[in-house]
Amino acid sequence: MPTELMAVADTARAARLLRKAVQRLPDASQRFPQLLDLSTGLIDAPNLETTIARAIGPAGEVLDSASPALARIRKEVRIAHGRLMDRLNRFVTSGGSNPALQDSIVTSRDGRYVVPVRADSRNQVPGVVHDVSASGQTIFVEPMEVVELNNRWREAQIDETREVERILDEISHQVGAYATELRLTVDSVARIDFAMAKGRLAFAMRATRPNIWSQLRRDDGLTGHPSQRIRLRRARHPLLDQKTVVPIDIDLGADFRVLLITGPNTGGKTVALKTVGLLAAMAQAGLFIPADDQSVLPVFTSFFVDIGDDQSIAQSLSTFSAHIASVIAMLEDVEPTSLVLIDEVGSGTDPVEGSALARSIIGELLDRGPLVLATTHYSEVKNFAYETPGVENASVEFDVETLQPTYRVVIGVPGQSNALSIARRLGLSERVLERAGTYIDSETVRTDELLSEIREIRDRAERELAQAEHERQLQVRLREEMAEERRNAEIERLNARDDAFAAAEAELAGARAAVRRLQQAAAARPTERPAIEKPQAELDKAIHQVKEFRRTTVAQRPRQQTPVLSVGDRVQVTTLGLDGEIASIEGDSAEVVMGGLRLRQPVAALKRLGGPRREQVRQVSIGSGAGFVPMEIDVRGERVAEVEAELERYLDTAYRANLPSVRIIHGKGTGALRQAVKRQLQAHPAVSRSELGGHGEGGDGVTIAYFRED
């Protein structure tokens, strides 16, 4: 009983923790709605858990903390037991009674403590006899002086037992009050555990979720099935090694309802049948299947399977009789929404009659309308599949050179037994093989030759198709690369034009300032005004030309959803009307530095004003007498030879200014400039280490160099 209560507490605790874990999953209502529904049935009874944990220990014992009465009674039991043992120990060690004892020990019989007394000294130890040894030489006596102590100890034990039973009965009533919730919890936990087991199985098998066919054809086609489809891609038997098994492709229901698989023994025909049947059953059981995610399976109302040898001496059934009994049962209950799997249809009897019976069974199933997969060795059945609408041949390949099956299923081509080829490969004499060849019908030989030619043509077509697909993918990749190069070139062209506009406008701004100064000077000296009018006219003409050129080129420029920006560009935040410089770009947003302020803004809200202010940065960074040395240098667009000399001067200046580290903006491009910077940093004596910019620092377009502290 205590262990059962512990199981209840453990179940309630596990259910509570599981419920919280499921509810804490991010977006559980959208991602795992069914799991969330199951978790609502889990019990949440912390009071019951606490009650059981306080009363039952980890080993299943009832604890003293279960009730104050139990703690008091157990204390009395311990006291009574201690007094009893003290009296018995004094009894066995005292000199008066020791000669009468067989051994100076204390033992127990029937729940009472006794001492072993020699049979010939029985009268020397008064007391109650509880047992006699097998030899009769020892009598187990409860000394009279400890009878009362034994009674008190036993009475205390009885009180303890009654209190324990009362406690367990009380807790059991509390558990009974949660009976409905506990039953629902066990059911929900079992469902969740089953779902997790299915998930682990799917992961182990590299399985995917099957697509369930639910479309219904309205036409009365004779070859395809009106409602059922099987389309398996790279399907694998779930019990085989998923790493080494050869996957198969199966199509059934679209153009034909019956698929006859032929080929040599051990070629994989039966495995193909079992693969289709198991995957269809797994899909209907809610399991993922070991096949590609393009696979499609319908919902069958029934499965009819005849695979293996069911002969029985007890039932007087031969192999043929067992097969026919299974077929009879199929034909009684089969319906259009059934799946029928028959291995070696019509086998086990005379080949002529067996092939006739096989064709008749296939024809009857074709009339009944289910999807059928069957295997056979009969050539007549292969011909029947060629001549009958709704029936299609398939084969499993066999490599005659290596005597090994390839396990590939090829639809549309019947298989060969390859018996003579295999026998020749194994070493059977040519004389025997030639004699066997004379017994084979000439039409059969010609058919095998045609099949071989068909296979060669098919293999050649598959190789050419694979080569064409490879070339197509190569062309697609080349077109994508060319499109990317054109896009990058266009971006560079547009950025260069924007830089030119920005430079021109900057020069015009300087010219305006110069003209204003001249105007101010002319106001002070009216005689010089005619000399100012000519520069003013030339400036107005230049401004008009720049504006007109920008207007016409911008009108021709293709519209872009977002501006083309890069780290270091000077931009204007249109929503704020402020100018700044891009420090980093992540997706559709960029970090803009405006003085001492950094803001994250959408790229669409930024207007590019031009490239970075390289001239100003370099002038300050390499000036030996400058009091301020910037933390970064931009060398994008320069040649490697120029960068080496400039970077050398900048590093020396930054090191003398006691900067801990500097940022070198070299851009991504082809990577040549980045490698040159890396080599120079590695060789510089003042640089301890360098690394590419991290997240939000420019990434591969920026290198951060750290100086030595010494």
pLDDT at residue 453 in the model: 58
Give the pLDDT of residue 559: 47
- Helices 2-23 & 179-204, crossing angle to 10 degrees? 60
Residues 624, 589, single domain; the answer is no
Asked if residue 141 and residue 187 are part of one domain, the reply reads no
For the chain, the straight-line distance linking the first and the last C-alpha, in angstroms and rounded, comes to: 75
**DSSP sequence for 228-276:** --EEEEEE--TTS-TTTPPPEEEEESSS-SEEEEE--TTSSHHHHHHHH
Query: 539 and 426, same structural domain?
Result: no
Q: How many domains does the chain have?
A: 6
Neighbours of 220 (CB within 10 A): 6
Q: Are residues 356 and 431 in the same domain?
A: yes
User: What is the residue-wise DSSP string for 374-419?
Assistant: EE---HHHHHHHHHSTTEEEEEEEEETTTTEEEEEEEETS-----H
Integer Cα distance of 702 and 665 in angstroms: 5
Owner of token pair 């059928």 = 372
* Residue 649 maps to a domain: yes
Supply the pLDDT for residue 626. 41
For residue 457, tell me if it sits in a domain.
Answer: no
Which CATH number fits the domain that encloses residue 387? 3.40.50.300
Are residues 322 and 385 located together in one domain of the fold?
yes
Pair of tokens at residue 262: 């032929």
Beta carbons within 8 Å of 362's beta carbon, 6+ residues apart: 258, 260, 345, 372, 374, 381, 384, 388, 391
**Residue that terminates a domain, selected from 556, 578, 598:** 556
Q: Residue 590 has which token pair?
A: 């960029």
- Is 36 exposed, middle or buried (CB count within 10 Å of its CB: 0-12, 13-18, 19+)? middle
Q: Residue 302 to residues 217, 282, 391, 706: CA-CA distances in angstroms?
A: 20, 14, 21, 73
Rounded-to-integer distance, Cα 320 and Cα 307, Å: 12
66 C-beta neighbours (distance < 10 Å), count: 24
Provide the domain limits for residue 310.
213-440
DSSP state of 559: P
Domain annotation covers residue 50: no
- Decide: 398 and 418 in contact? Cβ < 8 Å: yes
407 and 522 in one domain? Answer: no
Domain assignment present for 483: yes
Q: Same domain, yes or no, for 342 and 406? A: yes
44: left (phi over 0), alpha (psi -120 to 50) or beta: beta
Q: Are residues 272 and 409 in the same domain?
A: yes
- Residue 628: CATH number of its domain: 3.30.1370.110
Does 376 fall in a domain? yes
Measured CA to CA, the distance from residue 438 to residue 690 in angstroms comes to: 83
With tokens 């299923």, the residue in question is: 409
Residue 453 lies in a domain: no
Same domain for 234 and 162?
no
DSSP 626: -
CATH number at residue 575: 2.30.30
Residue 514, helix vs strand vs coil: helix
Exposed / middle / buried, residue 554 (Cβ in 10 Å: 0-12, 13-18, 19+): exposed
**Same domain (yes/no): 405, 323:** yes
**Token pair in block for residue 486:** 């054109």
Q: Tell me the two tokens of residue 324.
A: 């026919």
Distances in Å between the alpha carbon of 311 and those of 269, 270, 325, 340? 21, 18, 11, 20
pTM confidence score: 0.52
What's the gap between Cα 553 and its chain centre?
A: 52
Closest CA to 167 of 1, 397, 366: 1
Residue 298 has a CB neighbour count (10 Å cut-off) of 23
Are residue 650 and residue 578 in the same domain, yes or no? no
Chunked mean pLDDT (size 10), the chain, 710 residues = 85 88 83 84 84 85 88 91 88 73 84 87 84 87 87 90 90 88 90 89 90 63 78 90 83 89 77 92 92 92 83 54 84 91 81 84 90 85 83 77 68 66 73 74 56 63 79 83 78 70 64 62 57 63 64 52 70 76 81 73 81 46 49 81 82 82 83 86 88 77 85
The alpha-carbon radius of gyration of the chain (Å, integer) is 47
In-domain check, residue 54: no
Neighbours of 456 (CB within 10 A): 10
CA distance 146 to 347: 89
Same domain, 242 and 355: yes
**Tokens standing for residue 72:** 């008091």
Q: Report d(CA 149, CA 89) in Å as an integer.
A: 13
The C-alpha atoms of residue 55 and residue 64 are separated, in whole angstroms, by: 8
Select from 596, 550, 601 the least CA-distant residue to 574: 601
Residue 620 lies in a domain: yes
- Rounded-to-integer distance, Cα 694 and Cα 368, Å: 69
CA distances from 11 to 5, 15, 183, 436 (A): 10, 6, 11, 72
